[in-house]
Structure 1
Amino acid sequence: MATLTIWRYETAGGAQEAVRSLESLSKRDLITVHDAATVSWPEGAKKPKLRQLRNLAGRGALSGAFWGMLFGLIFLIPLFGAAVGAAFGAIGGSLADVGIDDDLIKQIRDEVTPGTSALFVLSEDAVLDKVQAEFAGQEKPKLIFTNLGADQEDKLRDVFAEEPTA
């Protein structure tokens, strides 16, 4: 089963550094990355920079329209003009089916601010000890969201040495 995770980094470049590690892990078949996207918000910028990582995406990847709509909802960035506005409501409702509800959208808005970045990853089949070794020495991210069960989420938090939430 594919897992959606959202990681927040304290620096605008943290998510991009993580992408390089994901690319390396993916090339060595230590994780299957179906799709990923980053949000980087340099200090002083009016809005974040959004990037879909098509080079990591394989079959089953999410479309650019999905990421565009998601980031449009989260960061209130008009993407395609007023004609798409009505679609935001429909998309927003369907996102709740995978756990991306209004509370999560608000949390991401509150946490991804100027000077920070975030990595959105749809992946599976991670070899956790190899993932942990690859990310050693890098900025420690905060796990904002995962659709894993509680036991699996605790294992993931352990990999990145983050305290579990209550």
Structure 2
Amino acid sequence: MQMATLTVWKFDAPESASQVERTLLGLQKQELITVVDAATVSWPVDARKPRTKQLTDLVGAGALSGSFWGLLFGLIFLVPLLGVVIGAAAGALGGKLSDVGIDDDFIESVKSQVTPGTSALFLLTRDEVLDRVRESLPPEHAELIRSNLDREQEARLREVFED
């Protein structure tokens, strides 16, 4: 099993991230990327908080649970997806996430860049040809934030969300 890559692509328009799902399906068919899991964040200018969506059409049996994305987005955007429970769990899980490369710097970087009027595509991938992926995304691509996960980190990430 090769190393997984958690990649965040930020776009300068609220609808751009959701428009790349078809592009990613094409890249998978060309075997330029293997999408393990994916989700989008769309933040209209006039909204108090972003809308999030797991891209279930792109992923197979290896996908993480929706609770992974819920927790990650809760930590980044303070979206109260699980009510009060997330407050207590966030501290413990936040520590576990930093063990897998999702640390405070990663969270702060995404939080400071994905703001009202933007969108983001969160990808957990394997075997990507990064330059070809970049070339395939819309021209309003603004920022790439990348955190590699080795096999051990990916296994720990899965353990965290299987509990």
1:11 to 10, 13, 31: 13
Matched with 1:143 is 144
The answer to whether the Cα contact below 8 Å between 2:37 and 2:123 also exists between their aligned partners in 1 is yes
Tell me the C-alpha RMSD between the 2 structures: 2.0
The answer to whether the Cα contact below 8 Å between 2:35 and 2:124 also exists between their aligned partners in 1 is yes
- In the alignment, structure 2 segments of 5+ residues that lack a partner are 151-163
- 1:101 deviates by 1.0
1:116 to 115, 118, 124: 118
Amino acid at match of 2:143: K
Q: Aligned partners of 2:102, 2:65: CA distance in 1, in Å?
A: 17
- 1:115 deviates by 0.3
Seq. identity, %: 57
Deviations 1:49-87 (A, max 9, x none): 001111111132111001000100110111122133211
Matched with 1:36 is 38
TM-score with structure 2 setting the length:
0.81
Kindly tell me: are residues 132 and 48 of structure 1, through their superposed partners in 2, closer, same or farther at Cα, counting changes over 3 Å?
closer
SS at match of 1:60: coil
Q: Aligned partners of 1:11, 1:20: CA distance in 2, in Å?
A: 17
- In the alignment, structure 1 segments of 5+ residues that lack a partner are 150-166
SS at match of 2:10: strand
Matched with 2:60 is 58
Q: Which has the higher contact order (CA 8 A, sep 6+)?
A: 2
Residues paired across the two proteins, number: 148
Amino acid at match of 2:140: E
Q: Aligned partners of 2:82, 2:134: CA distance in 1, in Å?
A: 39
- 1:133 deviates by 4.9
Amino acid at match of 1:75: F
